[in-house]
Amino acid sequence: MSQASIVGLPSTQSIAVSLQHQFSGKPCRICESPFIAYVRHIPMRRMRLSNPLYYCMECESFLLPQVYMEPVDQLQRDAAWHISVEERNTAWADRFFDAAFQKNPRIQSVLEIGCGTGTLLAVGAKRGLRVHGHDTNPYAPAIALERHGLVLDTTLWSNETAKEQFDLVVCISTFEHLTTPRALMAEIANYGRRTGAEAFISVPFGTERDAWTHLLEAVPTAPTNPLYLSDVHINHFSHKGFQKMAADYRAIEMEPFTHGWAGYWLRF
């Protein structure tokens, strides 16, 4: 008996179309699979709304539609948050650079995309690196200048507009906010191929199958629940999803690299 003759069984194509429809007709942002399924609604802390959580059955990542834009006062609080974690992040940045220099002793310059108030770059500069940072938060540059003497760029970084060459591109806690994470991966990959730069990318992993108990919490109440920041963290990458996205942009090396932040060291 052929599959088509089983009464009531929808074709693979029609299943894919109906699941796509639930996510506004869009495929998985991370791996482009059409097979994403609604899981449950997640209450959001910053708005009195709930946001539908979806699961990608191919790359095993979780996704939320973007329904929230940071108001100005929240951006101000976000910038202040970077100061509150400066001591922790300074220690993590030291661990990161120790390991990065071991990995590649030739690194002399660092570009950071989504650098916040410049804590990691300040540590890099103290170690003699030429550093440059981009962050779109309008409150970040004044803090970076005052605390670290760094001049930040508030424009969106892209391979097209990048004039200076850097040995290492760092991008920490940025991809989880983006409606088009693959576009930034493409930019970093193209820059890496064009200039030879290597990259370190970190996202807050933590939604792997063995951690799914977070789905049982009706209202995420602790920052240890990955869904706690569901207003602004709209991509919850699985390792499989992150690796798939990097592979799609022809990463030739992809090494788990956890020194301070958990992420991957990439070469293109």
Nearest distance, CB of residue 241 and Zn ion, angstroms: 5
Nearest distance, CB of residue 267 and Zn ion, angstroms: 23
Nearest CA among 259, 260, 203 for reference residue 234: 203
23, 33, 100, 133: which one binds Zn ion (CB under 5 A): 33
31, 188, 234, 245: which one binds Zn ion (CB under 5 A): 31
Query: Does the footprint of Zn ion cover residue 30 (CB under 5 A)?
Result: yes
Q: Which CB, 118 or 204, lies closer to Zn ion?
A: 204
Q: Which CB, 33 or 230, lies closer to Zn ion?
A: 33
What residues contact residue 242 under an 8 Å CB cut-off, 6+ apart?
30, 201, 203, 205, 264
19, 42, 53, 59: which one binds Zn ion (CB under 5 A): 59
Cα separation, 217 vs 39, in Å, equals 13
Query: Does the footprint of Zn ion cover residue 115 (CB under 5 A)?
Result: no
Nearest distance, CB of residue 224 and Zn ion, angstroms: 24
- Give the strands of the sheet with 50-56, arranged side by side: 36-43, 50-56, 62-63, 235-236
Query: Does the footprint of Zn ion cover residue 185 (CB under 5 A)?
Result: no
What residues contact residue 14 under an 8 Å CB cut-off, 6+ apart?
none
Nearest distance, CB of residue 235 and Zn ion, angstroms: 10
44, 56, 111, 199: which one binds Zn ion (CB under 5 A): 56
Count of residues interacting with Zn ion (CB under 5 A): 6
Binding site for Zn ion (CB under 5 A): 28, 30-31, 33, 56, 59
